[in-house]
Amino acid sequence: MYDLIIIGSGPAGLSAALYAKRAGLSVLVLEKNPMSGGQILNTYEVDNYLGMPGINGFDMGMKFREHVDKLGVEFEEAEVLRIEAKGANRIVHAQDADFTARAVLIATGASHRKLDVEGEERLAGRGISYCATCDGAFFRGKTTAVIGGGDVAVEDAIFLARICKKVYVVHRRDELRAANILQEQLFALPNVEMVWNCTVSEIFGEEQVQGLFLYDKENNRQRKLMTDGVFVAVGIVPNSQPFRNIAATDPNGYLIAGEDCRTSTPGIFAAGDVRTKRLRQVITAVADGACAVASVQEYFLQS
Ligand code: NAP
């Protein structure tokens, strides 16, 4: 029996573990993968976290984990299937074991959204990737296309432009959603070409990706774009599936919780990218972890 079980070991979960341990709570962190850090592990560079300019995402994850390890926080590898509220107990049912606590913090983050077009499933891992920093090196000297117009798509394209001969950025509108500073860097690269107002209708290739069929919305016609690799960066979906029975979600599947991280069920909290919020960044996830523990302590005093 723990005071607090934290599900997820990204920035929100690790920050909560730090605050909980310092507050004298008994705490267990359940992580699906043996590597802590969450999405930043696949981020080449994080340049907007105060005090750590230009840090590599993997190094940042390791720093976060080291800090928490110094306090002696307990970690366990477990895939959580659901949470049950039984009186004052919150029972976490995982694949191979059950864990009980007075409160549970869900900090499971979010995952890559798929394009859901023909060829995507068949050619995944055969030229289609969802992580430029993981797979970019396979495309050295080749042609790649990045799909999307957000921060991730633009960061991926900048990263790939250092490795690839040519990088197309395919976006469904005529302006990017990404931060201006990233756009400026992107537009200055000579081997990047923007493909505006186009959606992907098919990714084709026999054994490996050979190219894309695009629908050009402006001219109302199909286009063919030859490319060796496709990097899909069209946003994220919350990892909230196992918790939808216990905590209310918004239409996009995010767990509804305010800055206090309280969900619709007392004793169940949500922090980081999995909860409803305006800005999903490392710094806001870390802040959530701290706020969530303050709310957990308040909940213990009230219950
Ligand atoms: P995002 O900001 O939601 O951008 C997703 C992009 O994909 C948008 O341009 C969107 O187009 C496009 N898109 C969505 N569905 C599509 C579809 N089916 N077909 C084609 N295009 C589609 O997601 P993100 O770039 O993954 O970033 C996620 C969050 O992390 C954001 O809040 C971002 O600011 C944050 N982030 C921050 C940093 C940083 O600060 N260094 C780095 C990475 C990520 P529309 O523009 O037309 O909607």
Domain ranges of the chain: 2-112+236-302, 128-232
Residue ranges, the chain, pLDDT below 50: none
**Rounded CA separation 280/20 (Å):** 22
**Rounded CA separation 239/226 (Å):** 34
Global pTM value: 0.82
Q: Strand 211-216 relative to strand 198-204: parallel, antiparallel, unpaired?
A: antiparallel
Q: Taking a C-beta distance cutoff of 8 angstroms, is the pair 240, 257 a contact?
A: no
Pocket test for ligand 1, best of 152, 217, 284 (most atoms within 8 A of CB): 152
Residue 174 CB-density burial (10 A; 0-12 exposed, 13-18 middle, 19+ buried): exposed
Task: Quote the crossing angle between the two packed helices 282-302 and 11-22, to the nearest 10°.
Answer: 40
**Catalytic residue list:** 131, 134-135
Q: Taking a C-beta distance cutoff of 8 angstroms, is the pair 144, 230 a contact?
A: yes
Summarize pLDDT for 142-190 with one digit per residue, the tens: 999 999 999 999 999 999 999 999 999 999 999 999 999 999 999 999 9
Q: What is the pLDDT of residue 39?
A: 86
Pocket residues: Cβ below 6 A from ligand 1: 46, 48, 115, 147-153, 155, 172-173, 177, 199, 233-236, 280-281
pLDDT over 70 for what percent of the chain? 100
Q: Taking a C-beta distance cutoff of 8 angstroms, is the pair 7, 270 a contact?
A: no
> Is residue 143 classed as helix, strand or coil in its secondary structure?
strand
| C-alpha 122 to ligand 1 mean position (Å) | 24
Q: What is the pLDDT of residue 125?
A: 86
Q: What is the pLDDT of residue 133?
A: 84
Q: What is the pLDDT of residue 87?
A: 97
Superfamily for the 2-112+236-302 domain: FAD/NAD(P)-binding domain (3.50.50.60)
**Rounded CA separation 74/99 (Å):** 13
> Is residue 292 classed as helix, strand or coil in its secondary structure?
helix
Q: What is the pLDDT of residue 123?
A: 94
**Rounded CA separation 226/138 (Å):** 17
Q: What is the pLDDT of residue 155?
A: 94
Please name the residue whose Cα sits nearest to atom 3 of ligand 1: 235
Hey, what CATH topology would domain 128-232 get?
FAD/NAD(P)-binding domain (3.50.50)
> Is residue 160 classed as helix, strand or coil in its secondary structure?
helix
Please name the residue whose Cα sits nearest to atom 33 of ligand 1: 151
Element (H, E) at 121: none
| C-alpha 292 to ligand 1 mean position (Å) | 26
